[in-house]
Structures are given as C-alpha cells and as structure tokens.
Amino acid sequence: DAGVTQTPRHEVAEKGQTIILKCEPVSGHNDLFWYRQTKIQGLELLSYFRSKSLMEDGGAFKDRFKAEMLNSSFSTLKIQPTEPKDSAVYLCASSDNYEQYFGPGTRLTVL
Amino acid sequence: GQQVQQSPTSLVLQEGENAELQCNFSTSLNSMQWFYQRPGGSLISVFYNPSGTKQSGRLTSTTVIKERRSSLHISSSQITDSGTYLCAMGASSFSKLVFGQGTSLSVVP
C-alpha cells in the first residue's frame, strides 16, 4: 500500500504569493490532518477532516490558510498571501482509526 | 486544554547504553502514539500504544492510563537511534492528536 504522499517536497515563494500544497492520504483512511512544524513552535494542527468534512480549522491559521478536501483521496492546503513567517515544514497525515501516518512533508521557504 | 509533557528535553548516550523517555498527559487519553523523526525528515510511527506494553526489537513502550503517562525504553542504543522522539495523545472520539515537544536523542561512539 502506498503511504501518504505530498507534493511538492520543496517550495520557495516570494512574499505575497499564493502557494498550494497537495496531499494524498493512505487509501481508505477517513481522517486527514494538516500540520505545520517549526523548531520554535513544534507541531501545530492547521486542519482536520473526517470523511471529507472539516472538523477543525486551527483557529489562529484561519485568515490566510485554507485546506480543502474535494474527494477522499486528495487534499490541498492554500496559503494566500504568503509571509516570511510561514516558512516551515508542512506535514500531512491520515488515519483509519486513531493511529496516524505521516507524509514526507513540504519544506516551504518564503523570501 | 490537553497538554503533553516530555522528558528529558535532550539526551546524550554512549553507544550501547539504555534510555528511558517519558511522556506525561494532563487528561485521560484514549489513544497514544510514539514517533521518531530524523533531522529534516518526517514522522515515523514507532508505536501506537494506548495501554499496556508493546515491544519491537530494542524498543519497548509502556502506557499506564491511570497514571497518565507513557514511556519509551531504548535498549543497547545505536548511533542510528539518534533523532527526535515525539509522543502524542488523543483524548476525544476522533483521531486528533496533541503532541509533546519531543526528546532529542544523540548517541555517540
């Protein structure tokens, strides 16, 4: 079985640009999560979907971050407009019950 | 809100030594997971262990629900064990996890 896949693996953006990160969960998993990881803040939950329905949108990340799940096998995270403080690793994870499986992540650098 | 405290924050071991990593939870839990992460890498699930003891090779995880804690024991450490170990708990009926800040492990020759 394929694990969680994420594209691109690396992204460099200019301040103010719009970027879209992509995630494909493990086939059959009902839950999908987007996280942001930095050395200072650690892992922060951005969005959580259950069976394609948005369960949590990460509070503080609402204004410029938008996650969507149009079908059960694909999700996107849009950041618009990007700011230098958004530089981080963005991780996608999926779960079929409680155990979570993570993708390789996208390293975003905003100049 | 739910909190997860990990200790120690960092640890240096001589190759061959054993290590015990701790995770304490502020609320009762219904799921618990240990992850391993290399610098620049993603999170790899080491154990899903909501209660009791599980072993895989040199790694053993023990979760005691009543005491709201979980531990990860690494025996006969190897240089390749170096990295960050994160624990995470879930307390709701959903699979959402709350993460600790991690233990940075360095195993030296």
Question: Are residues B35 and A48, on separate chains, in Cβ contact within 8 Å?
Answer: no
A85 falls in which pLDDT band (50, 70, 90)?
very high
How far A87 CA lies from chain B's nearest CA (Å)? 14
Contact in structure between B34 and B49 (CB atoms under 8 Å): yes
- Going by C-alpha positions, the residue among B109, B13, B42, B95 that lies closest to residue A37 is B42
Share of chain B above pLDDT 70, in %: 96
Nearest to A101 among B45, B88, B90 (CB): B45
How many Å from the N-terminal Cα to the C-terminal Cα in chain A? 37
What would the pLDDT profile of B42-93 be if each residue is shown by its tens digit?
999 999 999 999 999 999 999 998 999 999 999 999 999 999 999 999 877 6
Contact in structure between A55 and A3 (CB atoms under 8 Å): no
CA distance B51 to B60: 12
Average pLDDT (A78-83) is 96
What would the pLDDT profile of B72-84 be if each residue is shown by its tens digit?
999 999 999 999 9
